[in-house]
């Protein structure tokens, strides 16, 4: 599943262009929305624990803030690029718009590998990132959050640095914080649960009982873990999950045809979502190739890892049994693969709708932090369910009414909302 030569930003623009054409968007609006409003690239020099100095490359892209402050995660990844961050910032704009929350799209990143850094070195990178961008972010400007290989600890270091520099308490500056320091109950489960709320509604639409379904998951990070957990709680049977093998430096798939027990699997998984292969074998799991997750005879596929995983090559591996693809990851399916999925009449729940539970709950956290009043977990998950269900049905209704592919329908709703906002502001 190589991503050689793959440019996610070009893909994001390609998806936008196709829908802009359908909407007959004027040229100025297209020009404005095809590119980020502003982007920052900077160096983060830090002193390593061994006394040497290293310089890390940092990014922040604000794609559009017409509907509210920019919102989006910060990724720590050795292969991070400005184009990946641009694409993800753009998708965040559509994501916040499709679920109709008053925020825009942003994204950040640092080129680094947390596996190879001590906690102290990671803290230095977090604080250095904030120092470089402090004038251009904030609770009313741009609100970061955790993403690939970052967590609540990284967020609180960033918040602490922001508050030190500005001299104010601003818990609404960042989301995904630890509980007790401005974090929201339900935030950890939010993205994975949101994925399953949309799957539940899709199964109702297709007239299928979840108890009679099987699913295969790609990735076993936060999103996939909670999606798999809720899916099995609802009565579904998960039979395969893929994850990264740090020893072999490749993806592998774990399969148990009788059904995966979430508690059993989480017990042999590290903080990076990597499953212990030897322990899995002892528990009766088959160890298969990294692409095996997509080749399973299941009803539901949940790509919940990285972009460009269902492409023109891998889409051919999908079995006729598959009825739903629920995109827990950002940009997992390429436009070439979309054409094949359309022809196969597979019900695709597009990424920026399917995985919008995270940003929706981040928005709830931001609201709670800004008003300094916190809700119960039940309230948060109930509000999340309402938002996700309502957004899913808006997209489904438009798809049926206009006979559109689900992804195109979701884009039509999101782009229209953002285009209306920039017009009303008099930007175009």
CA dihedral 248, 251, 252, 258 (to 10 degrees): 150
Residue spans of beta strands (DSSP E) within 12-95:
38-47, 53-64, 70-77
Residue 391 Cα to chain centre, angstroms: 16
Query: 319 an active-site residue?
Result: no
Coil, strand or helix: which one is 156?
helix
Report the C-alpha gap between 57 and 51 in whole angstroms: 19
Which helix (H) or strand (E) is 287 found in, with range?
Answer: strand 286-289
| Residue 10, C-beta contacts closer than 8 angstroms, at least 6 positions apart | 83
Cα Rg, the chain, nearest whole Å:
21
Q: At what angle do helices 8-22 and 27-34 cross, to 10 degrees?
A: 160
Judged on CB neighbours under 10 Å (0-12, 13-18, 19+), 350 is buried
Q: What is the DSSP string of 232-258?
A: HHTT-EEEEEEEEETTTTEEEEEE-TT
Catalytic residue among 95, 107, 256, 323: 107
| Residue 203, C-beta contacts closer than 8 angstroms, at least 6 positions apart | 209, 210, 213, 324
Report the C-alpha gap between 423 and 387 in whole angstroms: 26
Contact present, 135 and 38 (Cβ < 8 Å): no
Contacts 24+ apart (CB under 8 A), 164-169: 165/130, 165/131, 165/134, 166/134, 166/138
**Residue 39 φ then ψ, to 5°:** -145, 150
Q: Order of strands across the sheet with 286-289? A: 286-289, 250-255, 237-245, 214-218, 300-303, 324-326, 347-349
For residues 383-395, one letter each, b for 16 or more C-beta atoms within 10 angstroms of the residue's C-beta and e for the rest, the string is bbbebbeebbebb
Which residues are tagged catalytic?
Answer: 107
């Amino acid at each position: 599943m190589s991503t050689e030569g793959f440019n996610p930003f070009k893909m994001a623009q390609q998806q936008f262009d196709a829908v802009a054409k359908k909407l007959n968007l004027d040229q100025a609006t297209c020009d404005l929305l095809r590119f980020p409003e502003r982007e920052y690239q900077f160096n983060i020099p830090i002193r390593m624990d061994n006394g040497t100095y290293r310089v890390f490359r940092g990014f922040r892209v604000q794609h559009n803030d017409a509907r509210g402050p920019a919102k989006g995660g910060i990724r720590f990844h050795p292969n991070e690029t400005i184009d990946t961050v641009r694409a993800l910032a753009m998708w965040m704009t559509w994501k916040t718009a499709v679920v109709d929350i008053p925020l825009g799209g942003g994204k950040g990143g640092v080129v680094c590998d947390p596996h190879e850094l001590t906690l102290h070195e990671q803290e230095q990178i977090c604080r250095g990132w904030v120092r470089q961008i402090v004038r251009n972010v904030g609770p009313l400007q741009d609100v970061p959050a955790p993403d690939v290989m970052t967590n609540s600890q990284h967020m609180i270091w960033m918040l602490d640095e922001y508050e030190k520099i500005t001299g104010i308490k601003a818990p609404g500056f960042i989301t995904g914080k630890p509980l007790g320091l401005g974090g929201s109950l339900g935030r950890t489960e939010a993205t994975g649960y949101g994925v399953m709320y949309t799957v539940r509604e899709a199964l109702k639409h297709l007239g299928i009982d979840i108890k009679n379904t099987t699913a295969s998951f790609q990735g076993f990070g936060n999103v996939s873990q909670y999606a798999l957990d809720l899916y099995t709680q609802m009565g579904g049977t998960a039979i395969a999950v893929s994850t990264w093998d740090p020893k072999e430096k490749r993806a592998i798939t774990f399969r148990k045809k009788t059904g995966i027990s979430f508690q059993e699997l989480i017990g042999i998984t590290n903080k990076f979502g990597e499953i212990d292969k030897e322990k899995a074998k002892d528990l009766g799991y088959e160890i298969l190739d990294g692409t095996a997750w997509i080749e399973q005879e299941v009803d539901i596929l949940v790509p919940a890892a990285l972009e460009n995983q269902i492409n023109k090559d891998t889409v051919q591996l999908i079995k006729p049994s598959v009825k739903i693809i629920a995109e827990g990851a950002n940009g997992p399916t390429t436009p070439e693969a979309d054409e094949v999925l359309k022809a196969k009449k597979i019900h695709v729940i597009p990424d920026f709708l399917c995985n919008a539970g995270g940003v929706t709950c981040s928005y709830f956290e931001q609201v709670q932090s800004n008003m300094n009043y916190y809700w119960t977990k039940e309230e948060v998950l109930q509000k999340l369910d309402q938002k996700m269900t309502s957004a899913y049905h808006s997209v489904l209704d438009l798809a049926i009414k206009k006979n559109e592919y689900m992804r195109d329908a979701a884009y039509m709703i999101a782009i229209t909302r953002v285009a209306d906002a920039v017009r009303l502001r008099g930007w175009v």
